[in-house]
Structures are given as C-alpha cells and as structure tokens.
Amino acid sequence: MVYLDGASLTIEDVIAVAERAETVQLSATAIERMNTSRRKVDDALSGVAPVYALNTGVGLLANIRLADSEIEAMQVNLIRSHCCGVGTPLSEPVVRGMMLIRANVLAKGHSGIRPIVGERICDLLNHQITPIVPSRGSVGASGDLAPLAHMALVLIGEGQAEYQGEVLPGRVCLERAGFRALGVQATVTGKGVVAYDELDDDFAAETVLIVDSTDGQPLSPNQGPLRLVVPGDKRQARWVRMLKSITIVNLSSNPPSN
C-alpha cells in the first residue's frame, strides 16, 4: 500500500503503482489538510466578492462575475475545453503514473479541492480504470493541463477509459466498478509536470498549434503569441517554420463524447 501525504512519494512508489498495480490511499493527514483548504474555498464562494476561477470566468473573462447557477457549468466546460489532445493514447503505465503524481499533489492540501476527488483518483488506480489520454497536446504554457483534463473527464463520467481489457465510456467504467461520477465544484487549479524518462525524440520534437476555432485557421505570429513549451524551443521553432501544411481539426462543434 502506498499512502499519499503530498511529501513522501518516491520514484519507487510511482513505479510500483504504475507498473505493478500497487494499491494507493490518501493519508489521514492529507485528507485533513485538503478539508482545511476546501473550507477556505467554500468561504470565498459564499461571499459576493469575485474570486478568480471560482466565481468568475478565466483569461479574458476574468472580470466577469458568474451567477451562482453558472458556476458548475463553467467548471465542467473548463474540463471539456482543455480536452484538446490528439494522437496515439499514452500507455497505461504512463497514465497511471500521471494519476498517482496528481493525487499526491492534491494531497498537499494547497489547491482547495475536495478530498473525494483525490480519493476517486485512488479508486481508479486501485480498480485499474485507466483514462484514455492522447499523447499530443498542451494548453498554452501549462503542458499538463490537456492530459489532466482527459483524466478528469472520466472522473465526471465522460470521456473514455480502459477497464478489464475494454475501452468504454467513462461513465460505464465507473458504474461497472461500483462508483458514481463526481459532480464538479469550483476549485483552485494547481500546476504540475509529469516527467517520463522514456519519451522519444519524436515526441519531444512535435508541437501543437492552437487554432482560432471560429474559422479553423492557425494563428499567425502577428495575431498572438506562439508558445513552445517542451524542451528544445529553438529547434522546434525552426521545425514549425519548415512546415508546408497543417491539418486542422475544428473541435468547436464536437464536444467530447459521454
């Protein structure tokens, strides 16, 4: 059993859970810290003051105060909108390692998230429910957001996951394992990076361009920042300039399947 307290996770623990299906659980101290930080989020939500990403929009909409009835929908849409990954899915051990490290980060108690979210990630690991996470894609400067969004999609009963040798809708996997999809509540998003030492050069060399979904055209350098966020930025910049064509998939009218 690996107990997650946000401080003592080792590389050996990650390998044991990712590759050998060692069971995992949040420690009592971690749950206590998470409850403490969650109360601060609940207190903020109960007030009238706008609090970024809790009761406001994000990015350019940061100054827009949401009605109470809109907050849950905004949180769900944040997850869906970040599910922009493409390409061959990451292997099961990589996804399991990512899930474990994320649960350990949440166990630190700094994000304001409910303990049930960390516990449910542990449940997925213990029941070997592995979200399907595409291997290509990032969101701006936060390269982990797209993969983690695909993981979170399964927690709310959407997306797809592998369970008992089958790739199934996330909700079906949860139901077969005896779990219910989590409701979404406002939280403060933390950032993390999952490092995997066997990624090949082709993975590191590829870059995903963010496109303007209103007309399906890629942003040119003078329309907005082009940010390259994995090692080898200069080399990738030369690679991007050498591209002769780009295949663009407009996802604006195709939300992730339930």
Asked whether residue 227 falls in the same domain as residue 144, the answer is: no
Domain count, the chain: 2
Return phi, psi of residue 131, to 5°: -55, 145
Mean pLDDT per 10-residue section of the chain, whose length is 258 residues:
97 95 98 93 84 83 86 88 92 95 94 93 98 87 82 95 97 96 62 28 33 36 38 51 40 38
* 171 in Cβ contact with 84 (< 8 Å): no
Is residue 3 part of the annotated active site? The answer reads no
* 145 in Cβ contact with 138 (< 8 Å): yes
User: Do the domain assignments include residue 135?
Assistant: yes
CATH number at residue 119: 1.10.275.10
Asked whether residue 41 falls in the same domain as residue 167, the answer is: yes
The runs of H, that is alpha helices, within 11-133 are 11-20, 28-46, 68-81, 92-106, 115-126
Asked whether residue 127 falls in the same domain as residue 207, the answer is: no
3-state secondary structure of 36: helix
Asked whether residue 47 falls in the same domain as residue 94, the answer is: yes
Task: Give the range of the structural domain holding residue 209, as residue numbers without chain letter.
Answer: 201-242
Catalytic residue among 3, 52, 163, 196: 52
What is residue 133's predicted lDDT score, i.e. its pLDDT? 96
Round to whole Å and give the CA distance between 160 and 89: 11
DSSP state letters, 75-107:
HHHHHHHT---EEEEPPHHHHHHHHHHHHHHHT
Round to whole Å and give the CA distance between 138 and 144: 7
Return phi, psi of residue 57, to 5°: -75, -175
Q: Which tokens is 38 given?
A: 């969650």
Model confidence pTM above 0.75 = no
User: Do the domain assignments include residue 250?
Assistant: no
